[in-house]
Structures are given as structure tokens and as C-alpha cells.
Amino acid sequence: MYRQLTEQAERYLRSVYYQDNIAGQLKRKLGNLMARGEANADAACRALRLSRRTLQRRLKEEKTCFQKALQEVRALLAVNYLSDSRLQSNEIAMLLGYSNISTFTTAFKSWYDMPPSEYRQKFLSI
């Protein structure tokens, strides 16, 4: 199941973030890193083969930052994972790198103005 989820996340991120800029590259890498529980700036820099300062500078040139890219990836993957009826919210929280369900729920509400359970019920009819 882990392999399926990783592949699903990669396909989804490639389709959404087919950008050749550094923000797009970072978002694609974050999808992979998140699946391994390593979605942090240091791991992203290693994956991109950039120093932390270079990554910060290049993201700033594109008017974004690491945290914004991470939140965008999490928001998109959350919806994608919610569409899989086999996954429970606590599993999705873990896959997205949240330490508990309440942190994930709070983040999800900030993105979509409703909790994940309501989103799933309202939009995905699961």
C-alpha cells in the first residue's frame, strides 16, 4: 500500500506541478520526501543538490518560500488521499507529516474551511 500511495502522490504532483522552476522542482521532491517522513528543508536541499541558502534565495526570486511550498503540497495531497476510501484521516495525517490528527484537521480547515471528514462527505461521497 505504501508503494501505491507513493506512486499515486508522485503522479498527482507531476501533473499539478509540471514546472521547471525551483518551486516546482521542490514541490515534486517534497511529495517523495513526505512519503518517507523526511519533508524538511534539509532533506529537500539534499534531494535538490542545493545549499539551504541557495534554495532560499532561488525561492525568494520566485516570490515563495519553503513553508509555502510544503503547505501547498500537503493541501493537494490531502484532498488526493481523502479520495481513497481505504485511508482514514489519522493515516492521512501521518502520510502528510503531521504528528496527530488534530494538527492535520486544523491545517485542513485553514485550506478548505471545513474539516477533512466533512470534505470527504460533501465532495467525495465516500
From the CB of residue 72, how many other CB atoms can be counted at a distance below 10 Å? 18
Record the cell numbers describing residue 9, joined without a space.
502522490
Cβ atoms of 124 and 84 closer than 8 Å: no
Q: How many CA atoms lie within 13 A of 87 on its CB side?
A: 23
pTM: 0.80
Question: In the prediction, which pLDDT does 123 show?
Answer: 77
- Yes or no: domain 2-123 corresponds to CATH 1.10.10.60: yes
Residue type, 84: D
Q: Which pLDDT tens digit goes with each residue over 61-99?
A: 999 999 999 999 999 999 989 988 899 999 999 999 898
